[in-house]
Chains A and B, each alone.
Chain A
């Protein structure tokens, strides 16, 4: 699997697409994230790992704008997005999925995917009512983009189904599709394989690699399955109790004694590669 990274356009030194600089976040007396920095290279797959409560999701929530960091800043392609609203950050090209599947449950798969494309839809509130023709024409272009995603993720038979009726693994896949629908530059995946069986995990890992290689999307991944993380990541960042304790290639991180102590050494799915 190491060969996968050779096919990619390898990021040149210093060309970081997304940079997190020394962010901290406290909730009341609890420090969820303390002085964490991350550099995400363009076109890379970076995994964030760490025990439960290490602050992984809090970190993603700051990147997507749900939490405002107490200190530090977050920069996307040279633009400071630290204080921007989530909807603005989405429009700038950061899409995400959620740890507990967060599809709109009463809506169909197609509606969910179309909502994912909301940020790319130019016709605004008034124009989509008044200037009906334009909205219709634009719709066709968006439908084509959505159809491409449907084909890519093999969701053809599910278009008109409500998402609540789908099996767990499929819902995760639809959620990935919804995030892709916005044509993101950076995709944040919060445990995309959580709760899946081995076959589903392999499918999802394949999709993540395809998204990265064929669509050129930078991926930031939170995942507990060490086999998957070590297989597909270019770079692994380890958090423990809100702090970054190690960064490096999968091999380097696995050999790092601090990591072994904090995480892999606990026997939690570590060991094998």
Chain B
């Protein structure tokens, strides 16, 4: 394999693994939007919160890793349920913008409160996976990216099983499809809204662990949430498969931009390339690759 090809392959692999980790976070956003029509601008802050909790449990409380992750999962599930009950349910039936503003406010609150409770230093979340790059064909990846990608894939498989085969998953799709009719089936719609937020909590907990482990945990961890938007615009706001594919594409675009464009312009294209793509998609295909095209019936 020529050196050029090897470089390209390495960029692709790197981009795909990071992309899968974006997909994981985007999944939280999509689950909430799909079931409740709410746009969650605090998804990145959810990840930050989970990262802060797990880092604190590891470094200050000194829990074993597996226990710390389990506790973080439980706390984030509770956080999701609580948030829906206390903040979002009272906003049901209000204009969409009310929910958006509420989540933006929540994001600011979490970013503000996080350091107050957990301290402002950057903490490490070390996973027992070593530092030796894992060789995959002609390229190699840091072990954390491999772990992150694996976690993402496992979660996508689990969620696609849940929505296809489980009774709750099918009921949740019914709620997403038509809330009024779902109610007429005796489905307690609010309960499924709460479940969607709790699932976003689960995804954020895992996102906090893998992203926290890669970047270190402080308030800046919330910034990964910004990547959610190009991912979900690309894939479709309500498509779980779209979150997966969108994440992969955004990860790869970023990586290719960093590899091929940055040397010419002196860096930085990696950070905005995903948004250029997002705006292009909005102009050409506003409902995303897999998103549901809303048809107005007369």
Contacts and interface: CB of A to CB of B under 8 A. Distances in A.
Interface of A: 64-66, 85-87, 90-91, 95-96, 98, 100, 102, 104-107, 111, 114-116, 118-119, 121, 123, 125, 128-129, 135, 139, 178, 182
27 contacts: A64-B184, A65-B183, A86-B180, A86-B183, A86-B184, A87-B183, A87-B184, A87-B186, A87-B188, A90-B183, A95-B184, A98-B184, A104-B173, A104-B174, A104-B181, A114-B167, A115-B182, A115-B187, A118-B186, A118-B187, A123-B167, A125-B191, A129-B168, A139-B167, A178-B185, A182-B185, A182-B186
A114 B178 CA distance: 16
Contacts of A100: 297
B189 interface: yes
Nearest to A142: B167
A145 to B, nearest CB: 14
B50 interface: no
Interface residues of B, number: 22
Q: Which 5 A-B pairs have the closest CB atoms?
A: A119-B186, A90-B186, A86-B183, A102-B181, A104-B177
B173 A106 contact: yes
Interface string B271-298: 0000000000000000000000000010
A66 B185 contact: no
Nearest to A126: B168
B170 A115 contact: yes
A26 B167 CA distance: 38
Contact of A87 (B167, B189, B195, B297): B189
Contacts of B188: 87
B106 interface: no
Contact of A106 (B166, B177, B186, B297): B177
Interface in B140-190: 166-168, 170-171, 173-174, 177-178, 180-189
Contacts of A106: 173, 177
Q: Looking at A96, A115, A128, which has the most chain B CB atoms within 10 Å of its CB? A: A115
A107 B174 CA distance: 8
Contacts of B177: 104-107
Interface of B: 166-168, 170-171, 173-174, 177-178, 180-189, 191, 195, 297
Given A87-B189, A104-B174, A106-B177, A128 B184 contact: no
Contacts of A85: 183
B181 A91 contact: no
A60 to B, nearest CB: 11
Contacts of A95: 184
A87 B188 CA distance: 6
Given A104-B177, A107-B173, A118 B168 contact: no
Contacts of A178: 185
B183 A121 contact: no
A119 B180 contact: no
Contacts of B181: 98, 102, 104
A128 B168 CA distance: 8
Q: Looking at B167, B185, B187, B189, which has the most chain A CB atoms within 10 Å of its CB? A: B185
A107 B184 contact: no
Contact of A125 (B168, B182, B184): B168
Contacts of B195: 125
Nearest to B297: A100
A15 B57 CA distance: 65
B256 to A, nearest CB: 34
Q: Looking at A85, A98, A106, A118, which has the most chain B CB atoms within 10 Å of its CB? A: A118
Given A85-B183, A96-B184, A128 B167 contact: yes
Nearest to A135: B167
Contacts of A91: 186
A272 B209 CA distance: 74
A90 B258 CA distance: 56
Contacts of A87: 183-189
A102 B183 CA distance: 12
Contact of A121 (B167, B191, B297): B167
A100 to B, nearest CB: 8
Q: Looking at A66, A91, A102, which has the most chain B CB atoms within 10 Å of its CB? A: A102
B251 to A, nearest CB: 28
Contacts of A105: 177
